[in-house]
């Protein structure tokens, strides 16, 4: 019957009244009309993903250019190590498809990847600055590199450890996009630390030798004449 309703079932009078009250809450005697209609297609997400990848590549190139300009030969070696890091990260994305912890390259995942690149560069900067300080004090290039890596390691370790702890908390407490960002960040930080401390050091040990002792301008440093 129009304007009337009947509640049937195993109800008491009080429970029926409570149900009727809940049904009437928020009901307004106003008509509903269609104002606008929009549809979001899958291609929109694809466009956003492509733009994010493009932004990440541009940021990577700018970081590499900065390292080469400021640290010269050391920066060139660091740039090569970063390329190895990027290849390792892409390999991790591919290999994760065969593991229970599959990593999907989403927008938050790209953000975590780009952030980890910045942290890898930060580790290289700490190492190079320490190395340059040791050269100014009179050490030879080989000894300066060893001391630079040794002195910078504690700062690199503590900085990356704090990032990993934060990311693990996000993995445990976050959901969806937040968890994807945190997982990518953890993998990226671990790989970037390995790249900066192991790969960069190995490359420098192999490439740099006594030949650069009289060409310190290639690494942008001068020995202190008072030493």
DSSP state letters, 129-193: HHHHHHHHTT--HHHHHHHHHHHHHHHHHHHHHHHHHHHHHHHHH--THHHHHHHHHHHHHHHHH
Q: What is the pTM of this model?
A: 0.66
Q: What is the pLDDT of residue 218?
A: 75
| pLDDT by residue, tens only, the chain of 227 residues | 555 666 677 777 788 777 777 666 655 555 656 666 655 555 555 676 677 778 778 888 888 898 888 888 888 888 888 888 888 887 877 776 666 556 666 677 777 777 777 777 888 888 888 888 888 888 888 888 888 888 888 888 888 888 889 888 888 887 767 777 888 888 888 888 888 888 888 888 888 877 777 777 777 776 655 55
């Amino acid at each position: 019957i129009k304007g009337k309703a009947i509640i049937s079932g195993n109800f008491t009078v009080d429970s029926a009244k409570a149900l009727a009250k809940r049904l009437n809450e928020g009901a307004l005697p106003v008509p509903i009309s269609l104002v606008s209609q929009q549809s979001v297609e899958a291609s929109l997400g694809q466009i956003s993903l492509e733009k994010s990848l493009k932004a990440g590549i541009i940021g990577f190139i700018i970081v590499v250019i900065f390292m080469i300009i400021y640290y010269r030969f050391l920066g060139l070696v660091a740039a090569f190590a970063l390329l190895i890091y990027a290849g390792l990260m892409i390999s991790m994305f591919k290999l994760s498809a065969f593991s229970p912890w599959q990593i999907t390259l989403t927008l938050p995942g790209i953000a975590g990847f780009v952030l980890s690149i910045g942290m890898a560069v930060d580790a290289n900067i700490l190492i190079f600055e320490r190395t340059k300080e040791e050269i100014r004090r009179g050490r030879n290039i080989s000894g300066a590199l060893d001391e630079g890596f040794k002195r910078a390691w504690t700062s690199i370790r503590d900085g990356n450890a704090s990032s990993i702890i934060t990311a693990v908390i996000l993995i445990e407490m976050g959901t969806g996009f937040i968890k994807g960002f945190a997982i990518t960040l953890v993998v990226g930080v671990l790989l970037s630390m390995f790249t900066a401390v192991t790969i960069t050091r190995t490359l420098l040990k192999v490439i740099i030798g006594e030949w650069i002792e009289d060409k310190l301008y290639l690494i942008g440093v001068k020995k202190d004449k008072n030493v």
